[in-house]
Amino acid sequence: MRAEIITIGDELLIGQVVDTNSAWMAERLNEVGIELYQITSVHDDAAHIKDALDEAFSRADIVFTTGGLGPTKDDITKHVLCEYFGSHLIVDLRVRAHIEDLYKDRPDVLNRLTATQWLVPACAEILENRVGSAPLMVFHHGNQLLASMPGVPYEMKIAMEEQILPYIQSQITTAQPIGRNPKSQILHRTLQVTGIPESALAILLENFENSMPEGLHLAYLPKDGIIRLRLSSYGELTEAQVQQWFDELKRLTTDYMIAETGDPLEVLVGKILTERHQTIATAESCTGGKLASLLSKHPGSSAFYYGSIISYDNSVKTHLLDVPEEIIKTHGVVSEEVVIKMANAVRKQLNTDFTIATSGIAGPSGGSLEKPVGTVWIAWATPNGTSAECFHLGKLREQVTDRACQKALVGLLKRI
């Protein structure tokens, strides 16, 4: 079963919006065993959309489109699909009732433009968009399917989970897949390593890769100082067989492995702390709240994450984090002495089991010969004492703070 995604919207092609929908959809499709072959981003332009539809239908069983379903003039997807499938628009009374109910307290939304949202192509099956006014449309194209969803990420996700995926799964038995062997399972297993260059890792794994059977594939995904190693099986291998290969991969990389899954490090930290009923706080300077934001990102984080003192300005370090001005003067604000003080102070103040403190030069300005942009000190305070490390994390502001967060989490994982 092979799918393609077409994302529709000028905003994608002038860089005003990053397409986060496709990655989310890709992950879900892979999870339910549907191979995603291609993602195509096109303009809000009828001819362009139709060309992309022709091409996608020449390769895939299912085509997903996102975007272009708003009530405004620049959104044309519904009209183009209507034309493409040779249909015409009709009023859908169920959609109308839903929209009138959705906005019953918002007379300013229930206007004549919103009313165009309950016009739908006569040939389409309409699924319920619980959270918005754009109808979810499914079109049959011979044995192939097209599902059209809004581009707003929250709406798309709910549509996909609650309506589109269940619908597609109910159809799979009848459709004739043109992709890879439908009997074969897609299986992905990922682990994470750090402290070894990608090329050295590939040399370490050369024999392993050369002995892999047909249909098994190893991918290297380096990011922010961590390499994710993904073992993918598109063949006839059973789950147990893939697990055997994955076990061997773990054995070979054991000296560098920091996680046996591809989960973000903050999720792994959260799982361990929650299980042990332990807590964490941060004292951040250069990372400016990014680490706090990661630790509080996922549901359930209030079980282990207590809070942070973000001391972007030095006055906050001296007033709230007990860093004596003397120490800043002598050693500089980016120093082992300062981050250790910060980590200890926040641990005392917030009364948590663990803390992490960061201080560094994110750039573009503020660097010196001795401490160039990218220099970051990180300290970890634990029930067994406090220690710190110095890192050099590159030259670009975002890169420096992203990598600092990853280093902070890797260092924590080693210490808990």
Judged by CB under 8 A, the chain residues 165 through 184 that form the site for a second copy are none
Touching a second copy, residues 231-250 (CB under 8 A): 232
**Judged by CB under 8 A, does residue 152 bind a second copy?**
yes
Give the helix/strand (H/E) hosting 265. Answer: helix 265-276
- Using the rule CB under 8 A, give the single segment among 165-173, 253-261, 266-274, 290-298 that binds a second copy: 290-298
Give the x/- contact pattern for a second copy in 258-277, rule: CB under 8 A.
----x---------------
Beta strands in 100-186 (DSSP E): 119-121, 125-127, 136-141, 144-149
Q: How far is CA 121 from the centre of its chain?
A: 34
315 binds a second copy (CB under 8 A): yes
Phi, psi of 24 (to 5 degrees): -65, -45
Least distance (Å) between residue 216 CB and a second copy: 12
Stretch that binds a second copy, among 174-182, 188-196, 253-261, 336-344 (CB under 8 A): 188-196
Return d(Cα 102, Cα 23) in angstroms, integer: 29
Binder to a second copy among 88, 154, 166, 330 (CB under 8 A)?
154
| Contact residue for a second copy among 8, 41, 357, 359 (CB under 8 A) | 41
With tokens 């591809």, the residue in question is 262
CA distances from 370 to 209, 246, 335, 393 (A): 43, 44, 12, 15
Which residue number, 349 or 387, has a Cβ lying nearer to a second copy?
349
Is 220 a binder of a second copy (CB under 8 A)? yes
Asked if 396 touches a second copy (CB under 8 A), the answer is: yes
Task: Kindly indicate which of the ranges 86-94, 253-261, 376-384, 397-405 contains the residues binding a second copy, using the contact rule CB under 8 A.
Answer: 397-405
Contact in structure between 340 and 322 (CB atoms under 8 Å): no
By CB under 8 A, residue 310 contacts a second copy: yes
Quick one: CA torsion of 164, 168, 169, 172, rounded to 10 degrees?
Answer: 180
| Segment 1 to 30, residues that bind a second copy, using CB under 8 A | 10-20, 22-30
What distance in Å separates the CA atoms of residue 148 and residue 160, rounded to the nearest whole number? 10
Q: Taking the CB of residue 48, how many other CB atoms lie within 10 A of it?
A: 16
Mark 329-348 with x for binding to a second copy (rule: CB under 8 A) and - for no binding. Answer: --------------------
CA-nearest of 120, 125, 117 to 166 is 125
Tokens of 297: 């990102």
* Choice from 193, 295, 338, 410 touching a second copy (CB under 8 A): 295
Is 69 within 8 Å of 81 (Cβ atoms)? no
Residues from 56 through 95 that contact a second copy (CB under 8 A): 70-75
Instruction: Work out whether 217 is an interface residue with a second copy (CB under 8 A).
Output: yes
In this chain, which stretch among 164-172, 270-278, 284-292, 374-382 interacts with a second copy, using CB under 8 A?
284-292
- Write out the two tokens for 67: 């975007």
Q: Does 157 bind a second copy (CB under 8 A)?
A: yes
Q: Which stretch binds a second copy (CB under 8 A): 243-251, 264-272, 303-311, 376-384?
A: 303-311
Q: Which of 82/152 has CB closer to a second copy?
A: 152
The radius of gyration computed from the CA coordinates of the chain, to the nearest angstrom, equals 26
| 323 burial level (CB within 10 Å; 0-12, 13-18, 19+) | buried
Residue 189 interacts with a second copy (CB under 8 A)?
no
User: Among 87-95, 164-172, 220-228, 235-243, which window interacts with a second copy (CB under 8 A)?
Assistant: 220-228
296: contact with a second copy by CB under 8 A: yes
The string of DSSP letters for 343-377 reads HHHHHHHHT-SEEEEEEE--SSS---SSS-TTEEE
The residue within the footprint of a second copy, chosen from 89, 202, 257, 272 (CB under 8 A), is 202
